[in-house]
Structure 1
Amino acid sequence: MATRTKFTKQLEDIEGYLNRLTEKAASDVRAAGLAATGDKGAAEGVMSGRKTEDRLRNAIEENCLDVMLLQQPLIGEDLRFVSGAFRIVSDLTHIDGMTRDVCWLVEEIPAKAAKKLSAELSEMSECAARMVEQSGAAFAASDVEAAQKVVEQDNRVNELYSEVEEKLVGLIREGKSSARYLPELLMVAKYFERIGDLSKRVAAWAIFRVTGEHVVAEKTSQRLDAEEQED
Protein backbone atom coordinates (compact mmCIF):
# COMPACT_ATOMS: atom_id res chain seq x y z
CA MET A 1 0.00 0.00 0.00
CA ALA A 2 2.83 2.40 0.90
CA THR A 3 4.49 1.75 -2.45
CA ARG A 4 1.27 2.50 -4.34
CA THR A 5 0.75 5.68 -2.31
CA LYS A 6 4.26 6.86 -3.19
CA PHE A 7 3.64 6.03 -6.86
CA THR A 8 0.41 8.04 -6.91
CA LYS A 9 2.18 10.97 -5.22
CA GLN A 10 4.96 10.86 -7.82
CA LEU A 11 2.46 10.98 -10.68
CA GLU A 12 0.72 13.94 -9.04
CA ASP A 13 4.04 15.70 -8.57
CA ILE A 14 4.98 15.19 -12.23
CA GLU A 15 1.66 16.62 -13.36
CA GLY A 16 1.97 19.59 -11.00
CA TYR A 17 5.50 20.44 -12.11
CA LEU A 18 4.52 20.01 -15.76
CA ASN A 19 1.59 22.40 -15.34
CA ARG A 20 3.88 24.98 -13.75
CA LEU A 21 6.44 24.66 -16.53
CA THR A 22 3.67 25.03 -19.14
CA GLU A 23 2.38 28.17 -17.43
CA LYS A 24 5.87 29.63 -17.23
CA ALA A 25 6.59 28.93 -20.90
CA ALA A 26 3.30 30.49 -22.04
CA SER A 27 3.85 33.54 -19.83
CA ASP A 28 7.36 33.99 -21.20
CA VAL A 29 6.11 33.73 -24.80
CA ARG A 30 3.69 36.59 -24.11
CA ALA A 31 6.42 38.62 -22.41
CA ALA A 32 8.73 38.02 -25.37
CA GLY A 33 5.95 39.29 -27.63
CA LEU A 34 5.75 42.50 -25.61
CA ALA A 35 9.52 42.88 -25.74
CA ALA A 36 9.49 42.35 -29.50
CA THR A 37 7.05 45.20 -29.95
CA GLY A 38 9.06 47.73 -27.98
CA ASP A 39 8.45 46.98 -24.29
CA LYS A 40 12.04 46.52 -23.14
CA GLY A 41 10.97 46.03 -19.52
CA ALA A 42 9.03 42.89 -20.42
CA ALA A 43 12.28 41.10 -21.20
CA GLU A 44 13.66 41.34 -17.68
CA GLY A 45 11.48 38.63 -16.18
CA VAL A 46 12.13 36.32 -19.10
CA MET A 47 15.89 36.70 -18.90
CA SER A 48 15.95 36.12 -15.14
CA GLY A 49 13.77 33.00 -15.18
CA ARG A 50 16.34 30.40 -16.23
CA LYS A 51 16.85 29.02 -12.71
CA THR A 52 13.12 28.42 -12.26
CA GLU A 53 12.99 26.60 -15.59
CA ASP A 54 15.97 24.44 -14.60
CA ARG A 55 14.41 23.51 -11.25
CA LEU A 56 11.13 22.48 -12.85
CA ARG A 57 12.82 20.53 -15.61
CA ASN A 58 15.05 18.67 -13.17
CA ALA A 59 12.12 17.87 -10.89
CA ILE A 60 10.07 16.44 -13.76
CA GLU A 61 12.91 14.41 -15.24
CA GLU A 62 14.03 13.03 -11.87
CA ASN A 63 10.50 11.95 -10.95
CA CYS A 64 9.90 10.41 -14.38
CA LEU A 65 13.14 8.45 -14.23
CA ASP A 66 12.45 7.33 -10.67
CA VAL A 67 9.02 6.04 -11.67
CA MET A 68 10.28 4.28 -14.79
CA LEU A 69 13.15 2.61 -12.93
CA LEU A 70 11.45 1.67 -9.67
CA GLN A 71 7.76 1.26 -10.44
CA GLN A 72 7.77 -1.91 -12.52
CA PRO A 73 5.89 -3.07 -14.40
CA LEU A 74 4.71 0.31 -15.68
CA ILE A 75 1.98 -0.26 -18.24
CA GLY A 76 -1.00 1.31 -20.01
CA GLU A 77 -2.02 4.87 -19.29
CA ASP A 78 0.57 5.31 -16.53
CA LEU A 79 3.38 4.37 -18.90
CA ARG A 80 2.09 6.71 -21.60
CA PHE A 81 1.74 9.57 -19.10
CA VAL A 82 5.25 9.23 -17.70
CA SER A 83 6.97 8.72 -21.06
CA GLY A 84 4.95 11.57 -22.60
CA ALA A 85 5.79 13.92 -19.72
CA PHE A 86 9.47 13.03 -20.02
CA ARG A 87 9.43 14.07 -23.70
CA ILE A 88 7.22 17.14 -23.26
CA VAL A 89 9.58 18.72 -20.74
CA SER A 90 12.23 18.93 -23.47
CA ASP A 91 9.87 20.78 -25.82
CA LEU A 92 8.71 23.18 -23.11
CA THR A 93 12.23 24.08 -22.01
CA HIS A 94 13.19 24.59 -25.65
CA ILE A 95 10.24 26.97 -26.00
CA ASP A 96 11.31 28.87 -22.89
CA GLY A 97 14.84 29.09 -24.22
CA MET A 98 13.54 30.60 -27.44
CA THR A 99 11.79 33.37 -25.50
CA ARG A 100 15.17 34.36 -24.05
CA ASP A 101 16.64 34.33 -27.55
CA VAL A 102 13.87 36.69 -28.69
CA CYS A 103 14.55 39.05 -25.79
CA TRP A 104 18.25 39.03 -26.58
CA LEU A 105 17.57 39.82 -30.25
CA VAL A 106 15.19 42.70 -29.61
CA GLU A 107 17.87 44.51 -27.60
CA GLU A 108 19.44 45.24 -30.99
CA ILE A 109 16.21 46.49 -32.61
CA PRO A 110 15.07 50.13 -32.13
CA ALA A 111 11.48 50.47 -30.92
CA LYS A 112 10.66 52.49 -34.06
CA ALA A 113 11.69 49.60 -36.29
CA ALA A 114 9.86 46.98 -34.22
CA LYS A 115 6.70 49.09 -34.25
CA LYS A 116 6.28 48.50 -37.98
CA LEU A 117 5.65 44.83 -37.26
CA SER A 118 3.95 45.21 -33.88
CA ALA A 119 0.54 43.93 -35.04
CA GLU A 120 1.94 40.77 -36.61
CA LEU A 121 4.41 40.00 -33.81
CA SER A 122 1.80 40.65 -31.12
CA GLU A 123 -0.65 38.25 -32.73
CA MET A 124 2.05 35.67 -33.37
CA SER A 125 3.18 35.68 -29.75
CA GLU A 126 -0.39 35.48 -28.44
CA CYS A 127 -1.28 32.63 -30.80
CA ALA A 128 1.90 30.77 -29.86
CA ALA A 129 1.29 31.33 -26.12
CA ARG A 130 -2.26 29.96 -26.43
CA MET A 131 -0.94 26.93 -28.27
CA VAL A 132 1.52 26.28 -25.44
CA GLU A 133 -1.22 26.58 -22.83
CA GLN A 134 -3.76 24.50 -24.70
CA SER A 135 -1.34 21.74 -25.66
CA GLY A 136 -0.29 21.38 -22.02
CA ALA A 137 -3.91 21.39 -20.88
CA ALA A 138 -4.77 18.77 -23.50
CA PHE A 139 -2.06 16.48 -22.14
CA ALA A 140 -3.17 17.02 -18.54
CA ALA A 141 -6.80 16.27 -19.44
CA SER A 142 -6.07 13.45 -21.92
CA ASP A 143 -8.14 15.45 -24.43
CA VAL A 144 -7.55 14.35 -28.02
CA GLU A 145 -9.98 16.88 -29.50
CA ALA A 146 -8.28 19.80 -27.73
CA ALA A 147 -4.89 18.55 -28.92
CA GLN A 148 -6.09 18.41 -32.51
CA LYS A 149 -7.32 22.02 -32.25
CA VAL A 150 -3.80 23.09 -31.25
CA VAL A 151 -2.47 21.56 -34.45
CA GLU A 152 -5.05 23.50 -36.46
CA GLN A 153 -4.12 26.80 -34.79
CA ASP A 154 -0.60 26.52 -36.13
CA ASN A 155 -1.93 27.47 -39.57
CA ARG A 156 -2.52 31.02 -38.36
CA VAL A 157 0.99 31.31 -36.92
CA ASN A 158 2.41 30.20 -40.26
CA GLU A 159 0.24 32.74 -42.10
CA LEU A 160 1.51 35.53 -39.85
CA TYR A 161 5.10 34.51 -40.46
CA SER A 162 4.49 34.78 -44.21
CA GLU A 163 2.97 38.23 -43.68
CA VAL A 164 6.07 39.35 -41.78
CA GLU A 165 8.28 38.15 -44.62
CA GLU A 166 6.20 40.05 -47.18
CA LYS A 167 6.20 43.24 -45.13
CA LEU A 168 9.96 43.12 -44.63
CA VAL A 169 10.49 42.66 -48.37
CA GLY A 170 8.31 45.73 -48.88
CA LEU A 171 10.41 47.75 -46.45
CA ILE A 172 13.54 46.83 -48.38
CA ARG A 173 12.00 47.89 -51.67
CA GLU A 174 10.89 51.18 -50.18
CA GLY A 175 14.35 51.82 -48.82
CA LYS A 176 13.06 52.16 -45.26
CA SER A 177 15.67 52.40 -42.53
CA SER A 178 13.89 49.55 -40.70
CA ALA A 179 15.18 47.17 -43.36
CA ARG A 180 18.59 47.37 -41.67
CA TYR A 181 17.14 45.21 -38.95
CA LEU A 182 15.72 42.60 -41.35
CA PRO A 183 17.78 39.67 -39.98
CA GLU A 184 16.78 40.36 -36.36
CA LEU A 185 13.10 41.06 -37.11
CA LEU A 186 12.77 38.00 -39.29
CA MET A 187 14.46 35.80 -36.68
CA VAL A 188 12.09 37.03 -33.98
CA ALA A 189 9.13 36.03 -36.14
CA LYS A 190 10.85 32.72 -36.88
CA TYR A 191 11.18 31.96 -33.19
CA PHE A 192 7.43 32.43 -32.65
CA GLU A 193 6.75 30.21 -35.66
CA ARG A 194 9.01 27.51 -34.19
CA ILE A 195 7.28 27.81 -30.81
CA GLY A 196 4.04 26.99 -32.62
CA ASP A 197 5.66 23.89 -34.11
CA LEU A 198 6.95 22.77 -30.72
CA SER A 199 3.47 23.23 -29.26
CA LYS A 200 2.21 20.86 -31.95
CA ARG A 201 4.69 18.28 -30.70
CA VAL A 202 3.34 18.69 -27.15
CA ALA A 203 -0.18 18.24 -28.54
CA ALA A 204 0.98 15.06 -30.28
CA TRP A 205 2.07 13.68 -26.90
CA ALA A 206 -1.39 14.50 -25.54
CA ILE A 207 -2.85 12.31 -28.26
CA PHE A 208 -0.25 9.63 -27.47
CA ARG A 209 -1.35 9.60 -23.83
CA VAL A 210 -4.82 8.50 -24.95
CA THR A 211 -4.18 6.43 -28.06
CA GLY A 212 -0.64 5.14 -27.67
CA GLU A 213 0.24 6.58 -31.08
CA HIS A 214 2.58 9.53 -31.45
CA VAL A 215 1.85 11.26 -34.73
CA VAL A 216 3.38 14.59 -35.68
CA ALA A 217 4.02 15.91 -39.17
CA GLU A 218 7.22 14.19 -40.27
CA LYS A 219 8.50 17.25 -42.12
CA THR A 220 7.96 19.49 -39.09
CA SER A 221 9.57 17.01 -36.72
CA GLN A 222 12.64 16.56 -38.90
CA ARG A 223 13.07 20.32 -39.32
CA LEU A 224 12.80 20.95 -35.58
CA ASP A 225 15.26 18.17 -34.80
CA ALA A 226 17.74 19.66 -37.30
CA GLU A 227 17.30 23.14 -35.82
CA GLU A 228 17.81 21.80 -32.29
CA GLN A 229 21.13 20.30 -33.37
CA GLU A 230 22.16 23.65 -34.85
CA ASP A 231 21.25 25.46 -31.63
Structure 2
Amino acid sequence: MVISTRTKFTDQLNEVEGLVRRFGEKTVADVRAAGLAVTGDKGAAEGVMEGRKAEDRLRSAIENTCLDIMLLQQPLIGVDLRFVTGSFRMVSDLSHIDSMTRDAVFLAEEIPAKAAKKLEKEFTTLSAYAANMVNKAVDAFCTTDVEMAQQVMEADTAVNDLYAEAEEKLVGLIRDGKSSAQYLPELLMVAKYFERMGDLAKRIAAWAVFRATGEHTVAEKESQRLVQLGSEE
Protein backbone atom coordinates (compact mmCIF):
# COMPACT_ATOMS: atom_id res chain seq x y z
CA MET A 1 0.00 0.00 0.00
CA VAL A 2 2.82 2.40 0.94
CA ILE A 3 4.68 1.54 -2.26
CA SER A 4 1.54 2.07 -4.33
CA THR A 5 0.89 5.45 -2.70
CA ARG A 6 4.48 6.54 -3.26
CA THR A 7 4.32 5.49 -6.91
CA LYS A 8 1.18 7.57 -7.43
CA PHE A 9 2.85 10.51 -5.71
CA THR A 10 5.90 10.23 -7.97
CA ASP A 11 3.65 10.01 -11.02
CA GLN A 12 1.81 13.15 -9.94
CA LEU A 13 5.05 15.06 -9.47
CA ASN A 14 6.23 13.97 -12.91
CA GLU A 15 2.87 15.00 -14.36
CA VAL A 16 3.16 18.48 -12.88
CA GLU A 17 6.68 18.93 -14.23
CA GLY A 18 5.60 17.75 -17.67
CA LEU A 19 2.68 20.17 -17.68
CA VAL A 20 4.87 23.04 -16.50
CA ARG A 21 7.29 22.37 -19.35
CA ARG A 22 4.45 22.25 -21.87
CA PHE A 23 3.00 25.50 -20.55
CA GLY A 24 6.45 27.05 -20.69
CA GLU A 25 6.96 25.94 -24.28
CA LYS A 26 3.57 27.32 -25.30
CA THR A 27 4.25 30.63 -23.60
CA VAL A 28 7.68 30.99 -25.17
CA ALA A 29 6.20 30.24 -28.60
CA ASP A 30 3.47 32.82 -28.05
CA VAL A 31 5.97 35.50 -26.97
CA ARG A 32 8.00 34.90 -30.11
CA ALA A 33 4.84 34.88 -32.25
CA ALA A 34 3.69 38.12 -30.65
CA GLY A 35 6.98 39.70 -31.71
CA LEU A 36 6.21 38.71 -35.29
CA ALA A 37 2.57 39.70 -35.03
CA VAL A 38 3.19 43.26 -33.87
CA THR A 39 5.42 43.80 -36.89
CA GLY A 40 2.72 42.69 -39.32
CA ASP A 41 2.69 38.87 -39.47
CA LYS A 42 -1.04 38.07 -39.68
CA GLY A 43 -0.54 34.31 -39.36
CA ALA A 44 1.42 34.76 -36.13
CA ALA A 45 -1.27 37.10 -34.83
CA GLU A 46 -4.01 34.56 -35.47
CA GLY A 47 -2.02 31.84 -33.75
CA VAL A 48 -1.53 33.95 -30.63
CA MET A 49 -5.17 35.02 -30.43
CA GLU A 50 -6.38 31.42 -30.73
CA GLY A 51 -4.24 30.23 -27.82
CA ARG A 52 -6.54 31.21 -24.94
CA LYS A 53 -8.25 27.83 -24.53
CA ALA A 54 -4.93 25.95 -24.49
CA GLU A 55 -3.64 28.34 -21.81
CA ASP A 56 -6.74 27.78 -19.67
CA ARG A 57 -6.46 23.99 -19.99
CA LEU A 58 -2.79 23.90 -19.02
CA ARG A 59 -3.21 26.27 -16.09
CA SER A 60 -6.20 24.33 -14.76
CA ALA A 61 -4.43 20.99 -15.14
CA ILE A 62 -1.37 22.21 -13.22
CA GLU A 63 -3.34 23.90 -10.46
CA ASN A 64 -5.73 20.97 -10.01
CA THR A 65 -2.92 18.41 -9.85
CA CYS A 66 -0.98 20.55 -7.36
CA LEU A 67 -4.09 20.86 -5.18
CA ASP A 68 -4.66 17.10 -5.32
CA ILE A 69 -1.09 16.51 -4.18
CA MET A 70 -1.32 19.05 -1.36
CA LEU A 71 -4.64 17.66 -0.13
CA LEU A 72 -3.98 13.94 -0.49
CA GLN A 73 -0.23 13.45 -0.17
CA GLN A 74 0.46 14.32 3.45
CA PRO A 75 2.83 15.08 4.99
CA LEU A 76 4.36 17.07 2.15
CA ILE A 77 7.74 18.48 3.18
CA GLY A 78 11.10 19.72 1.95
CA VAL A 79 11.95 19.66 -1.74
CA ASP A 80 8.62 18.11 -2.74
CA LEU A 81 6.67 20.80 -0.91
CA ARG A 82 8.71 23.57 -2.53
CA PHE A 83 8.24 22.03 -5.97
CA VAL A 84 4.46 21.75 -5.64
CA THR A 85 3.92 25.17 -4.07
CA GLY A 86 6.36 26.76 -6.52
CA SER A 87 4.58 25.18 -9.49
CA PHE A 88 1.20 26.32 -8.17
CA ARG A 89 2.42 29.90 -7.86
CA MET A 90 4.55 30.23 -10.99
CA VAL A 91 1.74 29.03 -13.25
CA SER A 92 0.03 32.34 -12.53
CA ASP A 93 3.06 34.20 -13.88
CA LEU A 94 3.13 32.04 -17.01
CA SER A 95 -0.56 32.68 -17.51
CA HIS A 96 -0.08 36.43 -17.21
CA ILE A 97 2.71 36.36 -19.78
CA ASP A 98 0.60 34.35 -22.20
CA SER A 99 -2.33 36.73 -21.73
CA MET A 100 -0.05 39.69 -22.40
CA THR A 101 0.92 38.26 -25.77
CA ARG A 102 -2.73 38.48 -26.82
CA ASP A 103 -3.06 41.97 -25.35
CA ALA A 104 -0.02 43.12 -27.31
CA VAL A 105 -1.32 41.62 -30.55
CA PHE A 106 -4.81 43.06 -30.05
CA LEU A 107 -3.35 46.52 -29.44
CA ALA A 108 -0.94 46.26 -32.37
CA GLU A 109 -3.87 45.59 -34.70
CA GLU A 110 -5.03 49.15 -33.98
CA ILE A 111 -1.71 50.59 -35.17
CA PRO A 112 -1.13 51.23 -38.90
CA ALA A 113 1.65 49.09 -40.36
CA LYS A 114 3.64 52.19 -41.30
CA ALA A 115 3.64 53.39 -37.69
CA ALA A 116 4.53 49.95 -36.30
CA LYS A 117 7.52 49.83 -38.64
CA LYS A 118 9.05 52.67 -36.66
CA LEU A 119 9.68 50.27 -33.77
CA GLU A 120 9.99 47.01 -35.69
CA LYS A 121 13.58 46.44 -34.58
CA GLU A 122 12.77 47.24 -30.95
CA PHE A 123 9.69 45.01 -30.88
CA THR A 124 11.59 42.12 -32.46
CA THR A 125 14.49 42.44 -30.02
CA LEU A 126 12.26 42.86 -26.97
CA SER A 127 10.19 39.79 -27.82
CA ALA A 128 13.33 37.71 -28.43
CA TYR A 129 14.81 38.75 -25.08
CA ALA A 130 11.55 38.13 -23.23
CA ALA A 131 11.05 34.72 -24.86
CA ASN A 132 14.59 33.69 -23.97
CA MET A 133 14.07 34.79 -20.37
CA VAL A 134 10.85 32.79 -20.05
CA ASN A 135 12.46 29.73 -21.62
CA LYS A 136 15.46 29.83 -19.28
CA ALA A 137 13.32 30.60 -16.22
CA VAL A 138 11.07 27.58 -16.75
CA ASP A 139 14.07 25.38 -17.48
CA ALA A 140 15.78 26.65 -14.32
CA PHE A 141 12.68 25.79 -12.30
CA CYS A 142 12.38 22.27 -13.72
CA THR A 143 16.08 21.52 -13.30
CA THR A 144 16.57 23.46 -10.01
CA ASP A 145 19.39 25.39 -11.68
CA VAL A 146 20.07 28.39 -9.45
CA GLU A 147 22.81 29.78 -11.70
CA MET A 148 20.49 29.80 -14.69
CA ALA A 149 17.78 31.46 -12.61
CA GLN A 150 20.21 34.20 -11.61
CA GLN A 151 21.10 34.72 -15.28
CA VAL A 152 17.41 35.35 -16.00
CA MET A 153 17.20 37.90 -13.21
CA GLU A 154 20.27 39.70 -14.51
CA ALA A 155 18.87 39.70 -18.07
CA ASP A 156 15.93 41.79 -16.91
CA THR A 157 18.20 44.84 -16.87
CA ALA A 158 18.82 44.48 -20.62
CA VAL A 159 15.06 44.28 -21.29
CA ASN A 160 14.48 47.41 -19.20
CA ASP A 161 17.20 49.19 -21.18
CA LEU A 162 15.62 48.13 -24.47
CA TYR A 163 12.27 49.49 -23.34
CA ALA A 164 13.92 52.77 -22.35
CA GLU A 165 15.46 52.99 -25.82
CA ALA A 166 12.06 52.41 -27.44
CA GLU A 167 10.57 55.13 -25.25
CA GLU A 168 13.34 57.54 -26.18
CA LYS A 169 12.84 56.81 -29.87
CA LEU A 170 9.14 57.57 -29.60
CA VAL A 171 9.89 60.86 -27.88
CA GLY A 172 12.15 61.64 -30.82
CA LEU A 173 9.28 60.98 -33.23
CA ILE A 174 7.15 63.50 -31.38
CA ARG A 175 9.97 66.03 -31.35
CA ASP A 176 10.46 65.62 -35.10
CA GLY A 177 6.73 65.96 -35.76
CA LYS A 178 6.39 62.55 -37.39
CA SER A 179 2.85 61.46 -38.21
CA SER A 180 3.45 58.17 -36.38
CA ALA A 181 3.67 60.11 -33.13
CA GLN A 182 -0.12 60.11 -32.79
CA TYR A 183 0.15 56.38 -32.07
CA LEU A 184 2.59 56.97 -29.21
CA PRO A 185 0.37 55.48 -26.47
CA GLU A 186 -0.27 52.29 -28.43
CA LEU A 187 3.32 51.84 -29.58
CA LEU A 188 4.66 52.48 -26.09
CA MET A 189 2.15 50.10 -24.51
CA VAL A 190 3.13 47.27 -26.88
CA ALA A 191 6.76 47.77 -25.89
CA LYS A 192 5.70 47.88 -22.24
CA TYR A 193 3.96 44.50 -22.55
CA PHE A 194 7.24 42.88 -23.58
CA GLU A 195 9.08 44.65 -20.75
CA ARG A 196 6.50 43.31 -18.29
CA MET A 197 6.93 39.79 -19.69
CA GLY A 198 10.58 40.09 -18.70
CA ASP A 199 9.54 41.11 -15.18
CA LEU A 200 7.31 38.06 -14.90
CA ALA A 201 10.06 35.78 -16.24
CA LYS A 202 12.21 37.16 -13.42
CA ARG A 203 9.49 36.14 -10.95
CA ILE A 204 9.49 32.62 -12.38
CA ALA A 205 13.26 32.52 -11.95
CA ALA A 206 12.73 33.47 -8.32
CA TRP A 207 10.49 30.41 -7.91
CA ALA A 208 13.32 28.32 -9.37
CA VAL A 209 15.59 29.61 -6.62
CA PHE A 210 12.86 28.90 -4.08
CA ARG A 211 12.52 25.31 -5.28
CA ALA A 212 16.26 24.77 -5.00
CA THR A 213 17.03 26.63 -1.79
CA GLY A 214 13.80 27.49 0.02
CA GLU A 215 14.54 31.22 -0.36
CA HIS A 216 12.19 33.41 -2.36
CA THR A 217 14.23 36.44 -3.31
CA VAL A 218 11.38 38.47 -4.83
CA ALA A 219 9.30 38.14 -1.67
CA GLU A 220 12.27 38.99 0.53
CA LYS A 221 13.11 42.12 -1.46
CA GLU A 222 9.48 43.26 -1.34
CA SER A 223 9.44 42.77 2.45
CA GLN A 224 12.64 44.79 2.76
CA ARG A 225 11.13 47.56 0.62
CA LEU A 226 8.01 47.72 2.81
CA VAL A 227 10.13 47.84 5.97
CA GLN A 228 12.19 50.66 4.49
CA LEU A 229 9.08 52.61 3.52
CA GLY A 230 7.70 52.14 7.02
CA SER A 231 10.88 53.50 8.62
CA GLU A 232 10.75 56.56 6.39
CA GLU A 233 7.22 57.53 7.43
Give TM-score, length-normalised by structure 2: 0.93
How far residue 41 of structure 1 moved from its aligned partner, in angstroms, is 2.3
- 2:100 paired residue number: 98
Match of 2:210 in 1: 208
Which of 49, 60, 63 does residue 61 from structure 1 map onto? 63
Hey, what does 1:127 align to over in structure 2?
129
Q: What's the CA shift for 1:65?
A: 0.2
Q: Distance in 2 between matches of 1:20 and 1:210?
A: 21
Q: In structure 1, what is the Cα distance between the partners aligned to 2:116 and 2:184? A: 10
| Distance in 2 between residues matched to 1:218 and 1:48, nearest whole Å | 35
Q: Separation in 1 of the partners of 2:222 and 2:183?
A: 33
Residue identity (%): 69
CA distance in structure 2 between the partners assigned to 1:218 and 1:127 by the alignment: 25
Which residue type is aligned with residue 137 of structure 1? D
1:218 aligned onto 2:196: no
RMSD, aligned CA: 1.3
SS in 1 for 2:76: coil
* Structure 2 unaligned residues grouped into runs of 5+: 227-233
Matching of residues 78-117 of structure 1 within 5 Å: 78-117=80-119
**What residue in structure 2 maps to residue 21 of structure 1?**
23
Report the secondary structure of 2:217's partner residue: coil
- Corresponding pairs, count: 221
5+ residue gaps, structure 1: 223-231
Residue 40 of structure 1 deviates from its aligned partner by 2.5
**Residues 133-212 of structure 1 aligned to structure 2 (within 5 Å):** 133-212=135-214
Cα separation, 1, equivalents of 2:191 and 2:43: 19
| Matching residue of 2:120 | 118
Helix, strand or coil at the partner of 1:56: helix
Cα deviation, 1:59-116, whole Å, max 9, x if unaligned, reads 1000000000100000010000000000010000000000000010011011111111
Aligned position for 1:70: 72
AA at the equivalent of 2:35: G
Give the whole-Å Cα distance in 1 for the aligned partners of 2:222 and 2:117: 35
Give, in angstroms, the shift of residue 47 of structure 1. Answer: 0.5
Q: After the TM superposition, which segments of 4 or more aligned residues of structure 1 sit over 6 Å from their partners? A: none
Counterpart code for 1:126? A
In structure 2, the partner of 1:228 is none
**Distance in 1 between the 2:62 and 2:129 partners?**
26
